[in-house]
C-alpha cells in the first residue's frame, strides 16, 4: 500500500495540477511541501512518510513538473503563478492554516504566500533567501531547460552524480540512483528524461524573473511565525551573510547549517530530524 494518494486540483487557467496527499491528524494544520525549480513531489517522500499519521502532508507538483500538466503559456512559469495555483489548492481543500516547507523555488513561494496573506502556522525555508547569490543563479541558468535523455537508470544516476558531486560529496551510487528516480521519468519509448517541461527555462532566463523583487518585505510577513532556516554550508544560492540577516529579521527563527553540503539539502539529513520536530512542536 502506498503511504499517499495521488490527488489533483485545477488552476485558474484550467491546468490539472497534482499533489500527493499523505493522511494524518485532521486536528492539526496540514503540511504543504513545495519543491525546487526542476523538482517535484517525489523529493518529499521520505520526509512526508516520516511525518504522515501525526500530520497530513500535501506534496505539490508545480505546473510543468511531475504529474501536473504543462502550461500552454511558458511565461506562466513564474513564482507569482505558483502562488496563485497554491491559493487555488488551499481554497479547494478548505485549508485556512498550514505549515509550509519550501526548498529553493519552494521557499520563494512560501515567502510570497506569506506576503499574500496566507495563514502560515510554521515555515521551513530550505537553502534560499530574499537575495540569491549570483554564482548559484548563473549555475542554475546554465542547466535548466537543457533536456537530454539517458538509456538506463544507471546512466541517469551517473549524469546526476557528474553535475552534483560537489553538492553531496559523501553520497554513494545508491544515493545517486535514488535521486535520478526523483528527477527523471521513463518515457513510452523507453528513454529516461528530466521530469519537467523544458520551457520552464524561458521566463527563468528573462531578467527579473528568476526571483521576484523585494523578497525582504515578503519575509517580514513571517516575523512572528516559527521558522526553520536550513542552509547547506557549501551553498552557492544562499550566502551565509544573507542567512544571518534572515535570522535577525525574524523573531522566532532557528538557522541550521549542514556541513559539507551544497544547494540544496534534501531535508532527509540526520542533523535536521530534531530541528524539524522542534519546529512542528511549536504549532498549536
Buried b (16+ CB within 10 A) or exposed e, 97-128: ebbbbbbbbbbbbbbbbbbeebebbbbbbbbb
CA distance 34 to 31: 10
Q: Count CA atoms closer than 13 A to 151's CA, side-chain side.
A: 0
Which percentage of the chain shows pLDDT scores above 70? Answer: 96
State pLDDT tens for residues 153-186.
999 999 999 989 999 999 999 999 999 999 999 9
Is residue 1 pLDDT above 70, yes or no? no
CA distance 102 to 53: 21
Q: By three-state DSSP, how is residue 230 classified?
A: strand
What value does the mean pLDDT of the chain take? 95
Q: Are 40 and 182 in contact (CB under 8 A)?
A: yes
For 279, the grid coordinates are 519546529
Q: Are 119 and 222 in contact (CB under 8 A)?
A: no
Higher confidence at residue 143 or residue 48?
48
CA distance 167 to 222: 28
State pLDDT tens for residues 198-218.
999 998 767 655 555 689 999
Q: Are 227 and 124 in contact (CB under 8 A)?
A: yes
Q: Are strands 31-34 and 98-103 parallel, antiparallel or unpaired?
A: parallel
State pLDDT tens for residues 246-281.
999 999 999 999 999 999 999 999 999 999 999 999
* Cis status of the peptide bond prior to 189, with omega within 30 of 0: no
pLDDT (mean) for 89-107: 98
Place of cell 537575495: 131
Q: Are 194 and 183 in contact (CB under 8 A)?
A: yes
Amino acid at each position: 500500500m502506498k503511504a499517499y494518494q495521488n490527488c489533483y486540483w485545477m488552476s485558474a487557467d484550467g491546468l490539472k495540477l497534482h499533489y500527493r496527499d499523505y493522511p494524518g491528524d485532521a486536528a492539526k494544520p496540514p503540511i504543504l511541501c513545495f519543491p525546487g525549480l526542476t523538482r517535484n513531489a517525489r523529493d518529499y517522500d521520505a520526509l512526508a512518510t516520516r511525518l504522515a499519521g501525526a500530520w497530513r502532508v500535501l506534496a505539490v507538483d508545480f505546473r510543468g513538473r511531475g504529474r501536473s500538466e504543462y502550461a500552454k503559456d511558458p511565461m506562466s512559469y513564474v513564482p507569482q503563478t505558483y502562488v496563485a495555483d497554491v491559493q487555488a489548492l488551499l481554497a479547494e481543500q478548505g485549508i485556512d492554516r498550514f505549515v509550509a516547507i519550501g526548498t529553493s523555488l519552494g521557499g520563494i513561494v512560501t515567502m510570497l504566500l506569506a506576503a499574500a496573506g496566507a495563514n502560515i502556522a510554521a515555515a521551513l525555508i530550505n537553502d534560499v533567501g530574499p537575495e540569491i547569490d549570483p554564482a548559484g543563479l548563473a549555475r542554475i541558468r546554465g542547466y535548466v531547460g537543457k533536456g537530454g535523455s539517458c538509456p538506463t537508470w544507471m546512466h541517469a544516476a551517473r549524469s546526476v552524480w557528474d553535475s552534483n558531486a560537489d553538492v553531496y560529496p559523501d553520497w554513494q551510487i545508491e544515493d545517486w540512483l535514488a535521486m535520478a528516480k526523483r528527477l527523471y521519468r521513463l518515457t513510452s519509448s523507453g528513454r529516461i528524461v528530466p521530469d519537467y517541461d523544458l520551457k520552464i527555462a524561458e521566463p527563468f532566463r528573462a531578467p527579473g524573473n528568476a526571483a521576484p523583487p523585494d523578497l525582504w518585505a515578503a519575509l517580514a510577513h513571517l516575523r512572528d511565525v516559527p521558522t526553520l532556516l536550513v542552509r547547506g554550508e557549501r551553498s552557492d544560492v544562499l550566502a551565509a551573510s544573507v542567512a544571518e540577516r534572515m535570522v535577525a529579521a525574524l523573531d522566532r527563527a532557528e538557522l541550521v547549517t549542514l556541513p559539507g553540503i551544497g544547494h540544496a539539502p534534501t531535508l532527509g539529513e540526520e542533523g535536521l530530524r530534531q530541528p524539524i520536530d522542534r519546529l512542528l512542536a511549536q504549532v498549536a
